[in-house]
Amino acid sequence: MTNFTPREIVSELDRYIIGQQDAKRAVAVALRNRWRRQQVQSDLRDEIVPKNIIMIGPTGVGKTEIARRLAKLAQAPFIKVEASKFTEVGYVGRDVESMVRDLLDLAIIMVKEEEAKKMRVKAEANAEERLLDLLLPGESDPSPDKLQQQQGTRDKLRKLLRLGELDERFVELETEVSSMPAMSIFPPQGSEDLGINMKEMFGNLFPKKTKRKRIKVCEARELLLESEAEKLVDMENVTTLARERTEQTGIIFIDEIDKIASREGLGGPEVSREGVQRDILPIVEGSTVNTKHGPVKTDHVLFIAAGAFHVSKPSDLIPELQGRFPIRVELESLSEEDFFRILTEPKNALIRQYKELMKTESIDLEFDEEAIREIARIARTVNDRTENIGARRLHTILEKLLEELSFDAPERTERQVMIDQQEVRRRLSDISQDEDLSRYIL
């Protein structure tokens, strides 16, 4: 676990997310508590459970982004699921345990990549030897003189290969081709519990075929490097490490939790919503989920739930589930000043993104400050008049503003483009003032 202090975590989140200090502080403390737990003596460590968080706020204010950036910072397996996609046990649809299986699959990919990086030097050496074998096939039983001659030629080829002078030469490489018939396999709901990977099972029934392929040396090097790295990685160890990482550092972000909150006194689908909550409860409380890679305990997985709670409120969730989310933070709607800062301040600011995109067409795109403030004002106005979709409105507005430039960029002779306030108004004012038009275009 990366040893960041809460202040450092908030500072890192500030580089990408504007405002929402309460939410940042809450997740920073939750992440630091994980590190603190690792320092506690082992007999008490298992008793300390994570303090799960509910984020309350309208769409587009940064709920998902905060959770995603936190997971990246912690180098932890992270998955986002939508509560409304799950169904109660017995109904057709995704069962809630699938979120834990998906998290483990993601952890396996993460750990496998890390292990492959550790083995890269050895894999590169092995791939180079295989490539030299393809470039200079040896005789089955050469004489000592010929063997010495071949070694000299091989050393010369190795030098040329490392200098990249053989990259355009072609070699014949044997690649594996699946002989399994093209068909989709839809396992029964919950069959993952049986630990059966049906595609693997059926795949093993058919013999593996190989095909000779003529490709360039530079492409062959990458394929051989990947193949050698895979041979060196111990998948049993990867699975064990991934299971441990999922259990100890996994983060599950449950979005739209307000959609499964049931209002009292109502029937019909409300019963099913409550059923989904009751299915989620044991996973959040801490239970063991069976996967094809072995059992996974969820006792120390951090759950972050989020919802707009327009028509329902957190107290509409069943009491047991409420109790499992002790920390509640409210995220504020974004103001005009927030929009201006989102456009200019973050490391991945939208204005910076569009400038870099246009640079690929050799166009130097610039925005003056008044133009950016006008974009922020229009975003807030359209959000107030129609649906409030938060910062996502800025993507729509910038796409509309730069639509003509993006289309004409490759043929454009003028390489300096300045967007000023007048240009923003000319392109967007009519649409932003017409409520019916903005509802469909912006």
pLDDT at residue number 314:
83
pLDDT at residue number 168:
78
In this structure, of 39-48, 149-158, 169-178, the range with the lowest mean pLDDT score is: 169-178
Judge whether residue 161 has pLDDT over 70: yes
DSSP class per residue in 148-189: HHHHHHHHHHHHHHHHTTTTTSEEEEEEEE--S-S----PPT
Q: Greater confidence, 24 or 157? A: 24
Judge whether residue 127 has pLDDT over 70: yes
Cβ count within 10 A of residue 288: 14
- What tokens appear for 131 in the block? 């490539």
CA distance 420 to 299: 54
Condensed to tens digits (0 to 9), the pLDDT of residues 346-397 reads: 888 899 999 999 999 899 999 999 999 999 999 888 888 887 888 888 988 9
pLDDT at residue number 186:
46
In this structure, of 269-273, 310-314, 419-423, the range with the lowest mean pLDDT score is: 269-273
CA distance 361 to 378: 28
Q: How confident is the model at residue 193 (pLDDT cuts 50, 70, 90)?
A: very low
Which amino acid, 8?
Answer: E
Judge whether residue 264 has pLDDT over 80: no
Q: Greater confidence, 191 or 230? A: 230
For the entire predicted model, the pTM comes to 0.75
- Residue 34 contacts residue 1 (beta carbons within 8 Å): yes
Q: Greater confidence, 178 or 309? A: 309
Judge whether residue 245 has pLDDT over 80: yes
> Is the backbone of residue 164 left (phi > 0), alpha (psi -120 to 50) or beta?
left
Judge whether residue 344 has pLDDT over 60: yes
Judge whether residue 221 has pLDDT over 60: yes
Q: What angle do helix axes 217-232 and 98-118 make, rounded to 10 degrees?
A: 110
Judge whether residue 411 has pLDDT over 80: yes
Judge whether residue 192 has pLDDT over 50: no
CA distance 319 to 340: 40
Say if residue 440 is exposed, middle or buried (CB neighbours under 10 Å; 0-12, 13-18, 19+). exposed
Read off the pLDDT of each residue in 186-206 and give the average, rounded to a whole number: 51
pLDDT at residue number 340:
92
- What tokens appear for 12 in the block? 């890192």
